[in-house]
Structure 1
């Protein structure tokens, strides 16, 4: 008799769940919400005038335990300036086949050039497309930003950029540059 009661209890659990509304996520069609602080793909940031924050120091590559980052720095010139200061990251690549999402590269960056967005859809069917270059990693140009290369703001020094004393370029100048 006790085995019969146990079987009835088991069927009770089964029947109880049979008539509940299923919880189904329709992921590819309707992606769910993402937490604001979720660490997804990387992004190379810009200053408000459009110059890149990356100075090509390679600290992010040295900090990466998976060896997923490759940086090749180059010198800025007065005619071709991509970032304030002496250097910029000429080549910047992140291999998402190797990246473990630990965030050590973010902590190592002295200029806050590298941050992580909350975008998580990076899957692909081609291995070569999972090595993201600077063209995919750079933050998009917003209103008031000029695409580099261009000179630093008139009268500004490297310190002004690093201390956040540089604002966006006026729209009139931005339209002339385009």
Structure 2
């Protein structure tokens, strides 16, 4: 009885989910999205690195040649959100910073086909990003690179025999 009374006067931790949402940390990894540059061109150059590095093979790209200043671009760019594990490898490996992970974490689909996001939906989620996202900010900050950014890691201490 004492335990029940003690818990009755504690603050509530339950939230009314759709109306209230938890504040997410800056490095939260949500749904992936594609971005456009300031001229509203797709930043992706269809290099296939994100497709190659994706552990669950959730990304599918088909390239096409385009006539702008870029050699090629994606004709088809799809991400299967049922397979995506939001690991962030695609964001890290992208040389053009064309894909990044948003803070969005809710996806709804009534069938499996709706959970395969095409290029148009991914671009709608990402919007326009003229600036580099966050990849190089640590290395170019006023403080310089962090102390441990490029130090070799020692497996153990002691002397080799």
TM-score (normalised: structure 2)? 0.72
Question: In the alignment, which residue of structure 1 is the partner of 2:73?
Answer: 88
Pick the structure with more helix per residue. 1
**Per-residue deviation, 1:122:** 1.2
Cα distance between partner residues in 2 of 1:28 and 1:123: 13
Establish whether residue 42 from structure 1 lines up as the match of residue 27 from structure 2: no
Please tell me whether the aligned partners of residues 32 and 99 of structure 2 are also in contact (alpha carbons under 8 angstroms). yes
Q: Which of 43, 54, 68 is 1:64 aligned to?
A: 54
Q: Please list every run of 5 or more consecutive structure 1 residues that lacks an aligned counterpart in the other structure.
A: 1-10, 143-178
Cα distance between partner residues in 1 of 2:91 and 2:63: 18
Question: In the alignment, which residue of structure 2 is the partner of 1:117?
Answer: 102
| 1:61-97 deviation line (CA, Å, top 9, x unaligned) | 00001010000111113xxx4xx32100110000000
Question: In the alignment, which residue of structure 2 is the partner of 1:100?
Answer: 85
Question: In the alignment, which residue of structure 2 is the partner of 1:32?
Answer: 22
Cα distance between partner residues in 1 of 2:58 and 2:64: 20
Distance 1:19 1:47, change over 3 A: closer
Question: In the alignment, which residue of structure 1 is the partner of 2:127?
Answer: 140
Question: In the alignment, which residue of structure 1 is the partner of 2:44?
Answer: 54
Cα distance between partner residues in 1 of 2:60 and 2:104: 21
TM-score (normalised: structure 1)? 0.65
Of residues 85-94 and 132-141 in structure 1, the stretch that sits farther from structure 2 once superposed is 132-141
Runs of 4+ in structure 1 over 4 Å off: none
Cα distance between partner residues in 2 of 1:48 and 1:25: 38
Cα distance between partner residues in 2 of 1:25 and 1:92: 36
Cα distance between partner residues in 2 of 1:125 and 1:22: 33
Query: RMSD across aligned C-alpha pairs, in angstroms?
Result: 2.0
Q: How many residues align?
A: 128
2:74 is paired with a residue whose SS is: strand
Q: Please list every run of 5 or more consecutive structure 2 residues that lacks an aligned counterpart in the other structure.
A: 130-161
**Per-residue deviation, 1:21:** 4.5
Distance 1:21 1:59, change over 3 A: closer
**Per-residue deviation, 1:42:** 1.2
Question: In the alignment, which residue of structure 2 is the partner of 1:76?
Answer: 66
